[in-house]
Amino acid sequence: MAAAVLHAYALVWLVGWLLGPRAYRHRVGRGVLLVRNGPLYRARIPLEAIATITPCRASVRGEASLVVGDGEARLPARRRIDAWIELHEPIAVQRPLGEPVRVRRLAIAVDDPTALIAAVSAGHDHVGARRGHHAFDVVVGADLARDALATS
């Protein structure tokens, strides 16, 4: 019985890890770009700290989570990076097993870099690219509500 419970618990974590990039989308709101890579990694970037966002479609091999090096961090999803964010000032990338990492460049995966750039330029609310209705919208809604309560 205990083995079955542990197995079910492990499956829940595995499914959550696999669905993380879809459920935890990047978004713009209240003067902040919130960049996330699943439930484990996140960075709150004030819009005025962003120097440029440059689209760049790149495939990364063997990297599936936060990769840090020389003042920059990469947050690939599905083994790809779609945009580089250059910053005027260092920001903290939070990670689950360690102190936050301070970086001045951040590479992220995003379905539509052009839409993200437009949202950041306009400074209005935007939640990741949507391609039709997903069952994950309930999870995204709960996450948005949690972040709204945390920042208010």
For residue 57, pLDDT over 60 is answered with: yes
Q: What average pLDDT does the chain have?
A: 75
pLDDT at 39: 74
Amino acid at 40: L
**Spatial separation of the C-alpha atoms in residues 93 and 87, rounded to whole Å:** 13
Beta bridge partners of residue 58, listed in sequence order: 81
Contacts of 12 (CB under 8 A, 6+ apart): none
pLDDT at 72: 84
Residue that wins the pLDDT comparison between 105 and 145 = 105
Look-up: residue for tokens 């960049």? Answer: 35
68-109 confidence digits (pLDDT tens) = 778 888 888 778 888 999 999 999 988 888 888 899 999 888
> How big is the CA angle at 94 (ends 91 and 96), to the nearest 5 degrees?
165
pLDDT at 51: 92
Contacts within 8 Å (CB) and 24+ apart, 89-92 = 89/49, 91/43, 91/44, 91/45, 91/46, 91/49, 92/43, 92/44
